[in-house]
Amino acid sequence: MGLFSKIFGTDSAINKGLDLIANTGDALVFTDEEKAHQQVALLKAYEPFKLIQRFIVMVFCLPYVGLHTVVIIGCIFGADWGAISTMINEAFGYPVLAAVALYLGGGAIPKRSIHNR
């Protein structure tokens, strides 16, 4: 009997293998409740990155708005700073757009997973 138990395993090893197969089959089926719990866990894990996103938005948006404010005030007092406004947009436009899109659109695009196919 010792040779057969070494080849085929003991009853407890066979039961562990069957449990593993049963649990794997359960993991292949992804219910809506499990999806919701996964989404909540993902949002909770994403919270530290929101602080960095706010910092990035402030680093780019504050100078952008500040420089445009100076140009508007200058134009009110008669200065012709249209070219400066264009330079500000060329220098800061895309970085500000990217930072704001990153911050505001962080969860807007649904991710595709293997479970949604």
pLDDT band at 73 (very low <50, low <70, confident <90, very high): very high
Give the type of residue at 82.
G
Stated length of the chain: 117
Locate the domains of the chain by residue range. Answer: 1-30, 41-116
What pTM, to 2 d.p., does this model score?
0.51
Q: How many angstroms from the chain centroid is the CA of residue 100?
A: 14
Q: What is the Cα–Cα distance from 57 to 35, expressed in whole angstroms?
A: 31
**Residue 109 in this model has a pLDDT that exceeds 70:** no
Please state, in angstroms and rounded to a whole number, the distance separating the CA atoms of residues 30 and 2.
41
